[in-house]
Every structure is written in structure tokens, then in C-alpha cells.
Structure 1
Amino acid sequence: MTTPKLTLADSAATKLAAETLVIGTVEGSDGPELAQGTNELAAAFDGNLTETLSLLGAKGKAEEVVRVPASGSIRANVLLAVGLGKRDADGEIPAESVRRAAGVAARSLNGVSHAANTLSALDLSATVQGTVMGAYSYTRYKSQAGEDPVAKVDLLVPDAKSDGAKSALKGATAIGEAVNTARDLINTPPNDLPPAAMAERAAELGRAAGLEVETLDEDELRKHGYGGILGVGAGSSRPPRLVRLRHKGPKGARKVALVGKGVTFDTGGISLKPASGMEEMTSDMSGAAAVIATVVLAAKLNYPLDITATVPMAENMPSGTAYRPGDVLRMYGGRTVEVLNTDAEGRLILADAITRACEDEPEYLIEASTLTGAQLVALGKRTPGVMGSEQFRDRVAALSRATGEGGWAMPLPEELRGDLDSKLADLTNVTGQRWGGMLVAGHFLSEFVTGQTAWAHIDVAGPAYNSNSPWGYTPKGGTGVPVRTMAAALADIAENG
């Protein structure tokens, strides 16, 4: 992971010396319009910049990219005009439009050593996040990595020397880097990231950030009765782990628990998945990656909260030692679960982790996982489903939309709960119906949330991994969703309780 060097500049756009100067265009009724921060550039083109862009096919549509040779008093060599799309109903350009445009620009700057960006005059934080996330590439396993990401970007800001601008730059950079940390974990192939290796990576990141770290191996998991994690990991020669990372806040700080699903590879176990597309199950630990990155971010930004991340890690494989449909597992805390489908494994390791997290009596519990294929059926590839305690669920979903990650609140209809009753055990891990699969999984998890804990689960089965072409600030492969949602939720709890 390489982050471009980002600096604040209060010079006029024409005076920003760089190889490439990024400007924003807006989709107007009569063609492209120049976004804020580009008036001097228009003058440098004798007022004909929009006409020039139009001749080159520009319309100002979202994620459109047009290059123009610079001229006149402009010190840059090339103008990179990136589309912001239409203004909103209030005539404003949404932060997410700026974030995506900055990401598109960053992806278009590969091979450029020094660029300048005027989008920051619209929204500094969104531009920084979009630039950091858009410049991301994962080339560890490539013999020839291609062009390097842009090395340095000057950001045009009217109040560049103010504490507010400096703080915004620091915070937005840290958030973008946290997303990229999660992406690095997700994109690491499963042969190099079994549970033990992932646990060590988490511990290294945690110690570097000053977190308290606890790792339970298979013997300790067995000693303490983590039946869900052990059951899922029983079929693999690479045994499971549980990692706990704690950011200790000031005395009396609110307690927040984070839990993330860390299935480092999911074959489905005995209930084997189809071969087509199974390679994407390297991303089945995306929730764990996001939680690890988020608690490290909380330490870096010193959130005034007491945050503990509980991260179960297992590899779900078929073998002579694998758990079977029909088995009954005794979970951490003593409840029993009849396994009807070994491919519904994530909820089993999460149940153990949730029970352990609730022993700390947190006020809030936020979970993230690639929980169900039903999430994709209900909401598609880009929209996370948020379930949980109604008030906190709605709060987290709203914050998710504000960050650009697009979370959507989902119900837990009471009539679905009865389908999880078992004749042998306390619960089954799936029902015999195909309907409402995400909501049924939410019901299952809710059974392990104890006390007065406000709870939200974020199902990112689709949004966690992009198997198609890059878009906006989102690369192909791991996306890092929902790091920004969880970071926003933590910041909101710190500020508002």
C-alpha cells in the first residue's frame, strides 16, 4: 500500500506547478460547466475552456475523463477534466460525487510524479479520501507491476494554513489508508493468509498502533469452549484463531464492541459451493479485515472511546475431520446449534465472537461480515444491508449513506424467527426455506446479543469485493467496505453518545 504525498496549497489554480492539473466539470443543461476553483483557468483559455472541453466530447457526466494540453499562464502541462455529474436539488455537488471524481482522477494519474487537484476547493475531506483510495493498487504478486500510482498531489484549498484544513487532511488520509489496509488483507491470497497468518498480521497492526492484543490458538479455543469457531475450522489443516484488539479510551469512556467475520477461505465445507466463482471466497474475511483496520484507525485518531474488536478466524474446508450437516455444536456460552448447512458458517463463528464481546458489557456492538448471498439478491453488489436494534440500525445505515458506502436498513420480521427452532438443539443455523435468507441470519445473530447492547450488523457480501472493472475510487478486488461506515459510527458515538 502506497499513499501519495498530499500537501495543501492556497495558490491560484494557474500557479500550481505540476505535470497534471485536475479540474472538475459539472453536467449542465447546455454542456459541461466548470466547478469551483477553476475561474482563473477559464481566463487562461481566453474564456473558451468549456468550449474546448465540449469539442473534445466532455459533458461533465460522472466519472468522465478528458485531457487537454495546458496553455497560456497555466503552469501545469496537462489539464485533466473529471466529471462530477449533476448538482443535487439544492444546486450543490454532493460529497460522494467529489469523492468518486477524485478517485477517478487518481486512477488516471498512474505514472505521474506530481499532480495538483482543484476538487479540494469543493470538499477537502472527500477529495483526500477519493485520492488515497483511488490511487490504491495491489501488485505484490505481479512480476511487472506497471506504472506507479501518482507520487505527490497538491490540493487547492483557500484556507490551506488553517488548523481546520490540516485536521481534515490528517483525518481523511487516515480513513483512506484504513480502507486500503483492509483491501490489502482481502487481496492477499488464501494460501498466504490462513487463520494463523491473519491473526499475526492483525497482531502486528495492533501493536504498531498501540493496541492491547490477545490471540487464542486452537488449544485455548477448545479450553474456553468456542464450539462455533472450532466446528467451522475442523476440516482444515490450518487451525482457527480468535484475536482481540483493544483501544483503551479515557476513564469513563463509552464501550463499543466491533466483531468481524474472518473466514480466510470458504469452500462451503461438506455443503460444497459450486466451483464457478469460488475463487472470490478469498474475500470471505472482509468483515474481519474491516474491523481490524477500523480499530487501528481509532487508535491512530485517538477516538475517546473504549473499543474492543473481537475477530474470529477459520478456514472452512471439506475433509475427513470437517463438521457435517446434522452435527450439533455447543457454542461459546453454552447454547447449542444444529448444523443443517455447513456453508452457513459465518454466523457460527460470529455467534461465538458476539457472546465473548458482550461479556465486556458494551453499550454498542457493530458487526461486519460477508454474511449471506441473500444480501446480493435483496440489495445488489454495492449496497450493504444493515440489521439490528432498530434505532441503532437506522443510525448506522444513515451514517453509511453519508460516507458513500450506501448502507440500507433491513427489518427482522418476527415471523421468520420460528423457522430457526430445532428439534435437537437450541437453534438451527439455517431454515428450510429460501426466502429472507439475510433476515434469518440476522435473527440467528440476534440470539447471541445479550444485555442492553445496541447492535448493528452490516452484511457486505456483495459490496466487500468488486469482481468487475474499477469505478470511482473502487478498485477491482477488495473494496474495504464497511471501514468508513464503522469509522463514522465510532466518531458519531464519541460526539453524541
Structure 2
Amino acid sequence: MEFTIKTGSPEKLKRACIVVGAYAETRLTPSAEAVDQASGGVLSALLARGDLDDKAGATMLLPLLPGVDAERVLVVSLGAQEELNDKAYRDALNAAGKALAGLRGKEASVSLAEAEVPNRDLTWRLRQAARVVAAAAYRFDAPKKGADESAKRGIKKIQFLIPGKSSKALTTAVAQGLAIAEGMALARDLGNLPPNVCSPSYLANTAKKLGKDHKLKVTVLDKAQMSKLGMGALLAVAQGAEQPPKFIIMEHRGGKADDAPVVLVGKGVTFDTGGISLKPSAEMDEMKYDMCGAASVFGTLQAAAQLNLPINVIGVVPATENMPGGNATRPGDVVTSLSGQTIEILNTDAEGRLILCDALTYAERFKPACVIDIATLTGACVVALGKIPSGLLSTDDALARELTDHGQSSGDRVWQLPLWDDYQELLKSNFADMANIGGRYGGTITAAAFLSRFTKAYTWAHLDIAGTAWISGEAKGATGRPVPLLTEFLIARAGQL
């Protein structure tokens, strides 16, 4: 998709479609007023008749509107003007993006960024516009017999109409939004692939391709190398699987050589049966999404490299399947992690923390500015928070606030849960330094408490994305979250937000 910025009025633009906004009670944005005047009041008459719902994101498509040179006018509701907020603005953009993705034509102009969202400047509005409109056009290229007619549709060139002159800051904001959307698309593609395709080796090959395309340094460790290092926790998860595990390191070196990097660690369980502690069969197919933490690291690294951010970012992805088998880890086994700490495995379905703990120990060698791990870690997080925010736990309040603020700005929100030392008591084991589960209560917190034992050497935060990484039901598919949050966090750290 190609985005540009243009100033001017929309009614004389020869486009496949122009997009204008309208508020409840037939109030019009400036571009909609210009279209209404050109059409002799047709637009306001239709709105007065109630043809457009007042809810933000409702749409009305008008072909061949008199006095307007565009082939179609798409009117998008912004809701009540006095209630316009971040969500309503994004809902309108998402509706516009989906509508444009279903049209035939070469070029469209979108004027929604002229809507004045409280406490949000034009730079923010354009960054959101590019990201949301591009993400709304996402299609997964599913392996199906026959041509997909919908793939032939979609307007690929979009101009954002703005009041006043363009600037470098505004064009940068659009580029950032597009890079985030494309990073989300990569994360969604990886998540949506079937697990017989997206194996640990597939992720490793994807990393190598990403390295070639975006000048990332990529290192892939195999099982023998992991064993030599002493990654006993990760290999315990992998030992029941036929697919060989991979440990993937991707490095974007955009900052100075001695700048401490941000390290992103993504859980890469490409399919999770639960192992010997077998999961129920219902919806087990969705356990292909247990690598969405890893996918978000891929997407974020791509966005950072695409924007050439002047910051050092390292992605670390431990990748494996979790399968039952004659050689699979048993409940009651004790393993030694890379840190030297021993772990009693009471539940083999609590495997994500086992592969992450070795990756978190490995991250020490980079002397990081901070480490953020991202994982579809606990069903308890979905129970606690639903599927709207990701769970956030951290041993550093300043880092937690930073992530919370960027979650609010990007719309990729998080909610912080406590990580008090009291929870460490629940991980006691009679046979090892710790158990890998903490009992029935506070599962999201005890999982993070477990991980915190491997992060003493640096500033750390944990994102539990079990509720936000994918959608179930009829619209089933990966969401690409938390690529928007992570990328905006990196953009800000690079001083370009």
C-alpha cells in the first residue's frame, strides 16, 4: 500500500473514492461540507433523512454524487462530535480501510485526519490513519483451491487530505504508521499459518530472510548448541517433539556501537498440545497461535529496520513445539536452566515460562537497556482482563509506565498487575529451586514471578498476550498485537515520536 499527503478540497479530485467524515446530528467535517456544497446539498439531505448511523464507524457509500468528480464518496460516521475520542477515531478509520479494501480502483483520498481528536495533534492522527487503514486491508493468503476474487479488489494508493501544509514530521508519521501495519501483517501471517508449515525451522528461515531484506544480523542456534550452552529448561519442552527446536537472534544495530540495546524476547511455541499434561481437544487448533509472542518480535524488528530507527534492538526467539511422546518431559521431572537454577516441572502445559527463562538468561550477554518478553502465557490472563488489554507485569515502575503510556497512545493497551514478592512463596518446591506453577490462584502473576527470577541483571517487563494475540470464532485470526505498542515504544526511545 502506498500513502501520500495532499492539501486541498476533495470535491474536484478525480479518484475512485473520496472519504469524508460526518458527526451525529448531521454535523459535517470541512471536507464533507465542501462535498455537500458541490453536490447542492445532497449529502446533508441524506444525513438528515437518517441514512447514516450515528455510531462511529458507520458508513454510507454514494456513487456518482452530482458535482463531485470522484467515482464514489464514502461518508464515515465519527459519532457525536463532543464524544470524539481515540477509539471513535480509530473505529472510523478502520471502517474506511475495510471499505476501501473492498472497492475496485487505483486511488483514493481520505480526509478523516482533519477531525480534531481531543489532546491529539495532526502528527498522531496521521500515524494512526496510516496504521489503521493499512491494517484494515489485511488479508491472509490462505491455501485454497481456485482464485480468490476478493484479492483482486482493494485500492492501493491513498492520499491523506490535511488542512494546511505538509511537513517532514507529518510524512514521517505516515511512514511510521505504514511500517507498523506492515509489521503487524508479518506477525499475523506467521500466526495464521498452519502449524505443519510454521515450524521452528520455518521461523528460523523467516528470520534469515528478514535479515537479508532488512540488513539484520541473524544467528540461529540448533539443539546441539543449545545443549552445549546449558539450556535445559528449553530443551525439556522440546524433547517430546520430532521438529527440532531453534533459538533465533535478530539484531538491528541502528544506534551507536556502545549503546545498550532494547531486547525483545518472544515465546515461539509453534504448537502447544500441553505435552503429557494434555490440553482438552476443544479449540486445540488455536494453539498454533502460541508463537504469537515470537511473531510480534518479528513484526517489530521489521518495522524498526524499515524505519531505520537510530536505536539498537535485539529480538530473541526460543522456538519449539510442545508435544507428547515417549521422550516427552513428565510431571515431576527436574531440569537445570541456563541460569543454573533447577526447576521441578509439575505441569508440562506451563511450558512457555520454561523456554522463556533460558532466553531471558541468554539476554544478559547483551547488557541491555531493558528487556521485554512477550508471550501467550496464561489463560488466567484472559479470565482476569478479557481480550481487550494485554497483561503487563514488571519489576520496574518507570518501564511499566512507559509501556502503559504508549499502549494508550497506540490503542494497543495494557493493564498492569502486581508482582509482589509475596507471590514467590507459591513457587516453592521440595525437590528443586522452584516449581514451574504456583497453584490455582493468580496464575498470570505467578507465571511472571517465575520469570522474574531470571531477570535480576537488568530492567524487565513481561507482556501476557494470551487474550489479545488472536480472535476466536467466525473472524478467527491473529491480530498482530502488540506490534503497535512495541514499535511506538521503540520509536519514542529513538527520539522520533
Which residue of structure 1 aligns with residue 128 of structure 2? 126
Q: Distance in 2 between matches of 1:345 and 1:203?
A: 26
TM-score by length of structure 1 reads 0.92
SS at structure 1 position matched to 2:150: coil
Determine the structure 1 residue equivalent to 2:71.
Answer: 77
How far apart, in 1, do the equivalents of 2:362 and 2:414 lie? 26
Question: Which whole-Å CA distance do the structure 2 matches of 1:303 and 1:6 have between them?
Answer: 20
8-17 or 183-192, which deviates more: 8-17
Q: Say which is worse superposed, 215-224 or 43-52, in terms of deviation.
A: 43-52
8 Å CA contact retained: 1:305, 1:494:
yes
The letter for the 2-side match of 1:119 is: L
Conserved in 2, the CA contact under 8 Å of 1:232 and 1:314? yes
Structure 2: gaps spanning 5 or more residues: 116-124
After superposition, the C-alpha distances for 1:315-365 in whole angstroms (9 at most, x for unaligned) are 011111111111111111211111011111111101010010022221211
**Corresponding residue of 1:494:** 494
Alignment-derived partner of residue 278 in structure 1: 284
Change beyond 3 A, Cα 1:276–1:104 = same
Equivalent position of 2:119 in the other structure: none
Name which of structure 1's ranges 293-302 and 309-318 shifts more when overlaid on structure 2: 293-302
Deviation of 1:75 after TM superposition, in Å, equals: 1.1
Match of 2:341 in 1: 335
* CA distance in structure 2 between the aligned counterparts of 1:353 and 1:313, rounded to whole angstroms: 10
> Which range moves more in the overlay, 362-371 or 40-49?
40-49
Deviation, 1:203, is 1.9
| Worse-matched range after superposition: 198-207 or 115-124 | 115-124
Asked if the contact 1:340/1:428 (under 8 Å) is kept, the reply is yes
Matched residues, number: 481
| Aligned with 1:304 (options 290, 306, 310) | 310
Please state how far the C-alpha of 1:101 moved relative to its aligned partner. 1.9
Deviation at 1:96, TM superposition (A): 4.1
Q: Deviations over 1:39-90 (max 9, x none)?
A: 2012123335233034253233122122223423211122222222344xxx
99, 111, 134: which is aligned to 1:108? Answer: 99
Preserved CA contact (<8 Å) 1:96 1:403: no
Q: Is the 8 A contact 1:125 1:168 kept in 2?
A: yes
> Which has the higher mean CA deviation after the structures are superposed, 264-273 or 163-172?
163-172
Q: Pick the aligned partner of 1:216 from 196, 221, 226.
A: 221
Cα distance in structure 2, aligned partners of 1:294 and 1:421: 36
Q: Tell whether the 8 Å contact from 1:106 to 1:150 is kept in structure 2 after alignment.
A: no
Counterpart among 153, 157, 160 of residue 162 in structure 2: 157
2:22 counterpart letter in structure 1: T
User: 2:357 & 2:192 partners in 1: Cα distance?
Assistant: 26
Does the CA-based 8 Å contact 1:206-1:296 persist in structure 2?
Answer: no
Q: Deviations over 1:231-273 (max 9, x none)?
A: 1111110011100011112144232111010000111111111
| Counterpart amino acid of residue 406 in structure 1 | R
1:266-312 CA-partner distances (Å, limit 9, x unpaired): 11111111111111111110010101111222122222222211110
1:417 aligns with 2:399: no
Q: CA–CA distance in 2 between the matches of 1:328 and 1:50?
A: 71
Contact 1:8 1:160 in 2 (8 A): no
**CA 372–37 in structure 1, closer or farther in 2 if over 3 Å, else same:** same
Counterpart for residue 271 of structure 2: 265
Query: In structure 2, do the counterparts of structure 1 residues 53 and 414 end up closer, same or farther at CA, with 3 Å as the change threshold?
Result: same
CA separation in 1, counterparts of 2:403 and 2:459?
Answer: 11
Cα deviation for residue 95 of structure 1 reads 4.1
1:77 aligned partner, one-letter code: E
Task: Give the distance between the partners of 1:117 and 1:183, measured in 2 at CA.
Answer: 25
RMSD: 2.0
Percent identity of equivalent pairs: 36
For residues 450 and 224 of structure 1, what CA distance do their matches in structure 2 show? 20
Measured at CA, do residues 36 and 427 of structure 1 come closer, stay the same or move farther in structure 2, by a change above 3 Å? farther
- What residue number does 1:345 align with? 351
TM-score, scaled relative to structure 2: 0.92
Distance in 1 between the 2:185 and 2:293 partners?
14
Which of 403, 408, 415 is residue 410 of structure 2 equivalent to? 403
For 1:53 and 1:112, the matched residues in 2 are separated by 25
